[in-house]
Amino acid sequence: MLNKSLVSITDYSKDDYLKILQIAAEFEKNPSQKLLDGKIVATLFFEPSTRTRLSFESAVNRLGGRIIGFSDANSSSVTKGETLKDTIKMVTNYVDLIVMRHPLEGAARYASEVANVPVINAGDGANQHPTQTLLDLYSIRKTQNKLEDLNVFMIGDLKYGRTVHSLLMAMSNFNPTFFFISPDELKMPNEYKIFLDHHNIKYYEYREFMPIISEADIIYMTRVQKERFSDPIEYEKTKNAYVLSNHMLENTRSNMKILHPLPRVNEISLDVDENPKAYYFTQALNGVFVRQAIITSVLGMK
Amino acid sequence: MKDKQLIVNAIKNGTVIDHIPAKSLFKVITILGLQQINNQITFGTGLESKKLGSKAIIKIADRYFLDEEINKIALVAPQAKLNIIRDYEVIEKRVVEVPDHIQGIVKCVNPKCITNNEDIKTKFTVVTKNEVALKCHYCEKITDQDRIVII
């Protein structure tokens, strides 16, 4: 994977996923390996994303690399009207790797074509966020000891949630059964259902999760955002139907784990946090190991 | 009253593009860049057609097209037929075929796509050909037949 940018989860094959997960497991055992000694990484955040940026910067620091960059477009020359192309062309002279987040979709692909160094996409609008998907895969495998044949519940906003779309594509390599639970307005888009049909992967759609929750191996929660609803009354009616609280977990499988890309608002009650089935904070920690693995692979070190 | 008819002469050498849907005529002209060439060009539109209802035809003298040039018009005129003329004779008939990849020509339907916000040539992969659907190389969104806008 030498000098190969990671822009979209579909840039990587199943073998690539497995290789990244294996390298990430090595970093989990031994997080401080100074492989980036003397290297400089740019973190270009054209829109703020504290969690993702800190996770990347933690990964680079643990690898002994140095970081330059900006955390929102206001502190860059974008405010002076500089094009993305010029920003990337300039930065590419200074660094060995670019990590970027941009509000426009396709920005990372374009940057990877303009840059002379590899680009890792840390989110381009509603399109892709591949490092999130890889850390989700890592978390699933770590908690279930396998990726194959799992019942994966996706709950909440399945229409606009890019994390569920990318996870769906990636998990499709491992014969899952999907359970999509969402309000009618936020159902899984048809293009993804067609994709699953093509790959002979089973999926079911529900409006409520309680009747079926005992079937879940993984519950992947997402935020139902008010601004996604055309009708505010509809939002008020549905918002509480997609909240997970501790008492709901009584009849769930012992291996079941709850994942969430974070930030959480109110879709997982605080009383769930102490339940051993809550995995979202450890999931975020796994993000550092997975990003160490991705950075060193992209640079051809692993 | 005497019938008056403007007769468009047959061309000696060149290409005749027939069976263009009337509404797509100017799109075809744009896609092939016919405004920029100095060849003798005649076109007719609003002509009766059993297949298309109303069709257009373009005759371009002394100009032949490569497959990859002409296939671009398949997006707006999938049933177009080409007659290649040499010395007043039709020496070859060709149909157009939707290509696998498209560069430029079409605008991405997604307003948040980078190509609609910076000066970047669009690139698409053609995912289906009968009902044309184009997947943007950059934002990965699908632009379908009904929403194709020619740049």
Domain count, chain B: 2
Q: CB–CB of A243/A267 below 8 Å?
A: yes
Q: What would the mean pLDDT of B1-19 be, rounded to a whole number?
A: 77
- Does the residue B122 lie in any domain? yes
Q: What pLDDT does A225 receive?
A: 80
Contact A106 B119 (CB under 8 A): no
pLDDT bin (cut points 50, 70, 90) of residue A236 is confident
CB-based contact A287:A131 (threshold 8 Å): yes
Q: What residue ranges define each of the domains in chain A, with the CATH number in brackets?
A: 31-128 (3.40.50.1370), 131-284 (3.40.50.1370)
State which amino acid sits at residue A118: P
CA distance B131 to A63: 50
Check whether residue B23 and residue B91 sit in a common domain. yes
Distance CA B94, CA B73 (A): 13
Residues B79 and B21 in one domain: yes
CATH number, domain with residue B47: 3.30.70.140
Residues B54 and B108 reside in one and the same domain: no
Asked whether residue B23 falls in the same domain as residue B90, the answer is yes
CB-based contact A84 B118, cutoff 8 Å: yes
Please name the amino acid found at residue A91. V
* Residue A69, beta-bridge partner list: A43
The verdict on B18 and B32 lying in the same domain is yes
To which residue do tokens 């640079």 refer?
Answer: A299
Residue at which a domain ends, from B95, B113, B139: B95
From the list A219, A231, A153, the residue with the least C-alpha distance to A185 is A231
Q: Which of B77, B95, B113 is the last residue of a domain?
A: B95
Residue B83 lies in a domain: yes
pLDDT digits (tens, 9 = 90+) for A174-192: 999 999 999 988 999 998 9
Closest CA to A283 of A163, A173, A201, A188: A163
Whether residue B32 is found in the same domain as residue B83: yes
Tell whether B19 and B47 lie within a shared domain: yes
Q: Is residue B4 in a domain? A: no
Q: Mind listing the pLDDT tens digit for each residue in A260-291? A: 999 898 899 999 999 999 999 999 999 999 99
Of B54, B79, B95, which one is at a domain's C-terminal end?
Answer: B95
**Do B23 and B75 sit in the same domain of this protein?**
yes
What is the Cα–Cα distance from A263 to A223, expressed in whole angstroms?
Answer: 8
Query: What is the pLDDT at residue B109?
Result: 96
Task: Summarize the confidence of residues A43-52 as an average pLDDT.
Answer: 92
B110 and B74 together in one domain: no
| C-beta of residue A192 within 8 angstroms of C-beta of residue A127 | no
**pLDDT (0 to 100) of residue A253:** 97
Q: Which residue of A has its CA nearest to B119?
A: A83
Integer Cα distance of B20 and A273 in angstroms:
64
Could you tell me if B39 and B89 lie in one domain? yes
**DSSP state letter for A94:** T
Claim to verify: residue B79 and residue B47 sit in the same structural domain: yes
B112/A107 touch (CB, cutoff 8 Å), yes or no = no
Domain span at B109: 101-150
DSSP state of A188: P
| Three-class SS of chain B | CCCCCCCCCCCCCEEEEEEEEHHHHHHHHHHHCHHHCCCCEEEEEEEEECCCEEEEEEEEECCCCCHHHHHHHHHCCCCCEEEEEECCEEEEEEECCCCCEEECCEECCCCCEHHHCCCCCCEEEEEECCCCEEEECCCCCEEEHHHCEEC
ipTM value for the complex: 0.88
Confirm whether B91 is domain-assigned: yes
pLDDT band at B84 (very low <50, low <70, confident <90, very high): very high
Provide mean pLDDT across the span A157-163.
89
What angle separates helix A130-144 from helix A162-171, to the nearest 10 degrees?
60
Q: Report the distance separating Cα A161 and Cα A152, nearest Å.
A: 16
- From chain A, pick out residues whose CB is under 8 angstroms from the CB of B133: none
Q: Verify that B115 and B70 share a domain, yes or no.
A: no
Residue B59 confidence (pLDDT):
94
B86-134 pLDDT, tens digit per residue, is 999 999 999 999 999 999 889 999 999 999 999 999 999 999 887 889 9
Residue A69 CA to residue A88 CA, distance in Å, equals: 11
* Separate counts of helices (H) and strands (E) for chain A: 9, 9
| Chain A: closest CA distance from residue B113 (Å) | 5
Confirm whether B107 is domain-assigned.
Answer: yes
Is B119 contained in some domain? yes
Q: Estimate to the nearest angstrom the gap between the alpha carbon of B139 and the chain centroid.
A: 25
Supply the pLDDT for residue B67: 86
Instruction: Compute the average pLDDT of residues B33-57.
Output: 90
Residue B37 lies in a domain: yes
The rounded distance, in Å, linking the Cα atoms of B50 and A71 is: 61
Please say whether the beta carbons of A106 and B115 come within 8 A: yes
CATH number at B121 reads 2.30.30.20
| B93/chain A closest Cα distance in angstroms | 37
Q: Which of B113, B119, B142 sits opposite A106 (nearest CB)?
A: B113
Nearest to A103 by CA among B149, B137, B64, B114: B114
Tell me, yes or no, whether B1 lies in a domain. Answer: no
Active site residue A51: yes
